[in-house]
Chain A
């Protein structure tokens, strides 16, 4: 029977088992949330939304699918929560066809939470579909759709997700009579981006044509590649993976204020709860790298002898 170190299949299975046990264990055990330190790019993301005034429009693009749900949905939910709590006019759409169901669900869930924050009836009720928020849905075209949005949002999406004529919705009219027509009319555009089409296309085809501030939440694996855009100021806020989402949740939970934002809902914890599993899996991989190198150098020494 070969030694464990000489059986690659056995080693692989052991690694898989260890990872599964560690991730599931840390998710199931009531370890609480770890101490959080907020990175500057996450703080900037939060500040970008916080700087908007009630009634300002914000465009949120859900550019992810169920594969990235655990990593990006917490950021999407937290962003919607902050946008609704600031009583913004929230315009949403998606560039990924298979993510539309997730987007619709998240928008409705957060709109419902916002309604419980501001328990007013009739004209003053917030948020109302079509007036305070709208989901435009999905259209084919990917980057061409972004180009089309720079020419006119209502033309790119003649009907919204529920089937109403987009042009007729009151959400486009600001309280001062200003109209939202193109991407350039938004004081902030945010893309929750898992890949392509995503933040790269928004910068290349959107900001290449119109000038609008853009922030993004991306998967951890793609975040180092987006750092040059953040450092150059082309992206004004960046949430990097589940860690970024956890920092954002932490900032949002900490800043809840019943006097400013109405009845405080249950705190956001989806990403914060994942931090223990994330930390544990990183430590496991570091441990594996160390063990692997010890084995490598031992075998090298034996070979020399």
Chain B
């Protein structure tokens, strides 16, 4: 029993990890086919996981409603949403064609609700900029200056006004500063982050493959 709980998952991780790494570096049809099969397996598992996710969501919200926890009313809306979309989906034969109830619900609930939620970010950004963008130190002043230049120069009216303010060079000179910020310090910093993250992923993957990192088994 202990073998099935502890050693067996580690063995699966070890074999799968090593095989997938190896197939990436070995040319040939067999290796290519293996990569395709592994991708297929992942796609199938993810398809199953969607249903598992729905089950988990329902289970969690049923608990909330039966225990009358704070905010249980929102769970009712969640159930209503799921039932409504399921009925509309089956009614429309799972098709998002124009004129079907499924498409109508998509256009009139998912689209505006998602767009609204995302749009609210603009208000938070404006409020956060007011509260946080303060020249408290040299670093903060540099960040603030770069942000103001980029915000000003990356919009058409900003470029136009910059041209009116400074006739020599005009928008081209202002844009050059904004481009330099984007193409030099930004690219350098982003590259550093990307490389750092990639090395971190390699290290963590190695730890999982060789059984050093066992967090996914529920161990500390």
Interface residues of chain A, those whose CB is within 8 Å of chain B, are 8, 11-12, 15-16, 18-20, 23, 34-37, 39, 65-70, 98, 100-102, 104-105, 139-142, 144-145, 147-148, 151-152, 155, 209, 224-225, 227-228, 231, 243, 246, 275-276, 278-286, 288-289, 291-293, 296-297
Choose one: B122, B131, B148, B194; the contact of A19 (CB below 8 Å): B122
Name the residue on A nearest B181 (C-beta): A224
Question: Which residues from chain B contact A281 at a C-beta distance below 8 Å?
Answer: 122, 126
| Known A67-B115, A101-B106, A140-B46: A284·B36 in contact at CB below 8 Å | no
Name the residue on A nearest B149 (C-beta): A286
Within 8 A of A (CB), among B99-142: 103, 106-107, 110-115, 117-119, 122-123, 125-127, 129-131, 133-136
- Interchain CB contact under 8 A, B155 and A288: no
Say which size band chain B's interface belongs to: 35 or more
Question: Which residues from chain A contact B33 at a C-beta distance below 8 Å?
Answer: 151
- Interchain CB contact under 8 A, B126 and A288: yes
**How far apart sit A267 and B194, CA to CA, in the bound complex (Å)?**
39
- Interchain CB contact under 8 A, A246 and B39: no
| Known A67-B114, A101-B96, A224-B190: A293·B39 in contact at CB below 8 Å | no
Question: Which residues from chain B contact A67 at a C-beta distance below 8 Å?
Answer: 114-115, 117-118
Question: Which residues from chain A contact B144 at a C-beta distance below 8 Å?
Answer: 289, 293
- Interchain CB contact under 8 A, A286 and B130: no
**How far apart sit A289 and B132, CA to CA, in the bound complex (Å)?**
9
**How far apart sit A144 and B38, CA to CA, in the bound complex (Å)?**
8
Question: Which residues from chain A contact B133 at a C-beta distance below 8 Å?
Answer: 289, 292-293
B38-58 near A? 1/0 per residue, CB < 8 Å: 111011001100100000000
- Interchain CB contact under 8 A, A100 and B96: yes
Interface pick from B8-16, B156-164, B204-212:
B156-164
- Interface: B35 (CB within 8 A): yes
B166-183 near A? 1/0 per residue, CB < 8 Å: 000001000100010011
- Interchain CB contact under 8 A, B39 and A101: no
- Interchain CB contact under 8 A, B160 and A293: no
Choose one: A15, A148, A286, A297; the contact of B123 (CB below 8 Å): A15
